[in-house]
Chain A
Amino acid sequence: MPVTVQTPVEKWNGAVREVTLGATKADGGTRGRTVTVGGSATLPFLHFEGAIPNRPVIAIQVQDIDPLDWSPTLRSAWGDVTKDVLKWAAKAVDLGADIIALNLRSAHPDSGNRGPEEIAETVKSVLGAVDLPLIIYGPGVPEKDNEVLVRAAEVAAGERVAIGLCEQNNYRTIVAACLANGHVAIARAPIDVNIQKQINILMSDMGLPLDRILMDPTTGALGYGLEYSFSVMERLRLSALQGDGMTQMPTICTIGDEAWRAKEAKVSQGVPEVWGDFAKRGVVWETITATTLLNAGADILVLRHPQAVENVRKAIDQLIA
């Protein structure tokens, strides 16, 4: 006897807000195209339930200083271009990046400690070399972040780049720079829904429009808190769909940073043989972390390895079809 099963469909009151990165000439920028993320009115990929107007996108991470400490798997995949951020960014474009995530690591006190003027030149030249929308990350040290990101925001004025990171105890300077120069700010919280909402409130309280905030709930890689990231992102998405305006920002996940920090991705010697082929392991780690968080609601995935980019793009193609 045939059994008919009715697919349960939830009726939601809210949706994820749409955020656009990049500005073309028409909007006062120089980007060749813009990227709009968010907008989902349902849980990830439940096409039968609600609208999913924009597909998740891939940002490829490039650094402004050759990352000698990166896994040999990553370094051999990219080759020489990591010595020159402009070549690196161009190759990332060729690989089909939707966004270039420029990491200003050279400003870190341990990696060159470049000052704001040098950084400004880097940002200008990357903007000149590629016409995709940009995400700009500081070196991750609050004082240096504030110093260099303010200049970066100024020289990128009008380009509607995303700038990070804003955290609960360090957000004012970056938000002010985004406000003054028409950019989008990234709000990061330490895998904690309450702090995520709080930082979102604090940033919007400074007058930053809600369609200029992305939230980064912090990525835990496979084996290193992935399930916590998943449940925090799920909770934020449910809250967004239930209509809480302070959790409706699109979500960005720094997959590459976290996956390649894992011992499994980094260490080739002295590990159990069952861990398998080292050359593949890191890529698998990054791919699994990314595809898992896609299903938790990631809108922007920041990736490192070209093969992971290809794998994740295929996954998105299938999930969005």
Chain B
Amino acid sequence: MIVVGERIHIISPKVKAAIESRETQAIQALALNQVGAGSHYLDLNIGPSKKSGAEVMEWIVDAVQQVTDLPLSLDTTNAAAMEAGLKKVARRAMVNSASAEQVRLNNMMPLAAKYGAELIALTMTEQGIPGTADGRASVALDLITAAAEHGIGSDMLYLDPLVLPVSADQAGVRETIEAIRVFKQLAEPAPKTIVGLSNVSNGAPNENRGLINRVFMVMCLGAGLDSAIVDPLDKELIEWAAIVENRDSSSARNNILIALYDSVANMEEFDRSIVDMNDPEQRDVYKTIQILNNEIIYAHSYLKV
């Protein structure tokens, strides 16, 4: 799994303060932590930054590039800031993001094309996010076509089905996973796929969020997910991705994860007989699978019953 580190994000008060007062070292420390944790890309989210977007983006790209060679994902809806950042990026850049909304399409696609950057494309239109995998696939096709018209090859695209919280749209989780599977088949060469992983657990109690994120990640990987925007310092998350990628069957828990991955990959039902319900960890993983598959109704305290 290609790990896009999400920790430099304007939503964090620490990051916001560091950006406002241009604390280069604070940003560099955040970057280095994520590099050390095995990130493959670093996302730089500066928000819309209406007033001084270009200047902020130039500064932050410079700051991060001084300490790492990792490719950067520039995350803003401000087109001027995006272009300023793309000019500054020394190696590979990723534009985060375009969508099928006309403004975001017209702003971001030409920039990605002009600077040869990879592009995250969200399957969302002015009407919102289609509820089904097929609906998202139809938007994805439009995005692939538009990208091709701009000279952006499908291998430069990261299609994002947009993950909705299981607590708000339980039936939608499986559609998101199926969308990933369908996206991979829409063009040759296959487009890449990406998700903002932690959104699946938005609204859930903090103590359950990590588990929901991890189980969902394994299911997405089974459907063919290439990449996820995550907190790379979440050690268990990175560990679980490695378990299914390396098929590390050294524990009963790991075997469950591999079986889950395979069941989604082969479009088969998950075989619950391999779960030891007397083992709390295995039991909680299984309950989370049931919740994400919409087999039982989600409740915040679903692990208690």
A binds B: yes
In Å, the complex CA distance between A244 and B296 comes to: 7
Would A202 and B297 count as touching, CB distance under 8 A?
A: no
Would B301 and A202 count as touching, CB distance under 8 A?
A: yes
In Å, the complex CA distance between A195 and B167 comes to: 10
Dominant secondary structure at the A interface: helix
Contacts of B304 in A (CB 8 A): 201, 205
Residue A122 CB within 8 A of the other chain: no
In Å, the complex CA distance between A242 and B296 comes to: 9
In Å, the complex CA distance between A198 and B170 comes to: 14
Q: Contact residue range for chain B?
A: 10 to 19
Would B297 and A245 count as touching, CB distance under 8 A?
A: no
In Å, the complex CA distance between A245 and B167 comes to: 19
Would A201 and B297 count as touching, CB distance under 8 A?
A: no
Would B296 and A194 count as touching, CB distance under 8 A?
A: no
In Å, the complex CA distance between A201 and B296 comes to: 14
Would B299 and A194 count as touching, CB distance under 8 A?
A: yes
Residue B298 CB within 8 A of the other chain: yes
Task: Return A205 CB to nearest CB of chain B, in Å.
Answer: 6
Residue A235 CB within 8 A of the other chain: yes
Residue A197 CB within 8 A of the other chain: yes
Q: How many residues on chain A are close to B (CB under 8 Å)? A: 17
Identify the closest chain B residue to A194 (Cβ).
Answer: B298
Would B305 and A198 count as touching, CB distance under 8 A?
A: no
Task: Return B200 CB to nearest CB of chain A, in Å.
Answer: 15
In Å, the complex CA distance between A244 and B298 comes to: 11
Take A239-B296, A244-B296 as given contacts and tell me if A201 and B301 are in contact as well, using a CB distance cutoff of 8 Å: yes
Residue B51 CB within 8 A of the other chain: no
Which residue of A197, A235, A242 is within 8 Å of B299 (Cβ)? A197
Q: Which positions in B face A, CB cutoff 8 Å?
A: 167, 170, 296-302, 304-305
Q: Give 20 new A-B contacts, CB below 8 A, not counting A198-B300, A201-B299.
A: A194-B167, A194-B170, A194-B299, A194-B300, A197-B299, A198-B299, A198-B301, A200-B299, A201-B301, A201-B302, A201-B305, A235-B297, A239-B296, A239-B297, A242-B296, A244-B296, A245-B305, A246-B297, A246-B299, A247-B297
Q: Which positions in A face B, CB cutoff 8 Å?
A: 193-195, 197-198, 200-202, 205, 235-236, 239, 242, 244-247
A sample of 8 inter-chain contacts (CB < 8 A) reads A193-B297, A194-B167, A194-B170, A197-B302, A201-B301, A205-B301, A235-B297, A246-B299
